[in-house]
Amino acid sequence: MSDKDQFLTVLRDWMETSMHRSIHGFIRQNRESALSLSQVSALYHLYHQGSGPIHRLVNHLGISMPAVSQLLESLVESGHIIRSTDPTDRRVKLIQLTEKGTETVEKSMQARHAWLTDLAAALTPEEKEQLLPGLEILSSLTRSQAGLDEPRCKKKASPTP
């Protein structure tokens, strides 16, 4: 087996195992929240993309405007989002997360990532030091290929002027 094939094999194994562990935590947390997968997806989208017009969510979810309106109504009623009218164009409806919506997403992310604490604790300081440069490269390339900004952890770590 070539080095390239071995790398892809190990990378795929890592991806499958880590996704399984993350999704297991996500599913368990999602059951407790009693929200549908579409509702959770909408909350995550607003969390990562920020407030905006409803049509942006229609494009993201790939469902009709009436379906999104119905989904949003239940999120408004449950206190996860606020719907308002764009002050510059009254035909445009805006949506934004409430504090409850933000807390729901962050709790879900914590559940998805909980297993990483145990994994990190199992590594020696030397192993962590050895793995860190490779993880930074993988993270940077993955974010770049997905068209994403730099990770939140880097933004928080940067000094303020």
pTM of the model: 0.76
The pLDDT confidence band at residue 54, using thresholds 50, 70 and 90, is very high
Per-state percent for the chain, helix, strand, coil, to nearest 5: 70, 10, 15
Helix (H, G, I), strand (E, B) or coil at 93: strand
CA distance 97 to 103: 10
User: Each residue of 66-115: pLDDT tens digit?
Assistant: 999 999 999 999 999 999 999 999 999 999 999 999 999 999 999 999 99
**In the CATH scheme, what is the code of domain 13-149?**
1.10.10.10
User: Each residue of 5-35: pLDDT tens digit?
Assistant: 899 999 999 999 999 999 998 888 888 888 9
CA distance 110 to 149: 21
Q: Where are the domains of the chain?
A: 13-149
Name which of 23, 60, 22, 13 is nearest 41 in CA terms. 60
E strand or H helix at 90, and its extent?
strand 89-97
Whether the Cβ atoms of residue 55 and residue 45 lie closer than 8 Å to each other: no
Whether the Cβ atoms of residue 143 and residue 149 lie closer than 8 Å to each other: yes
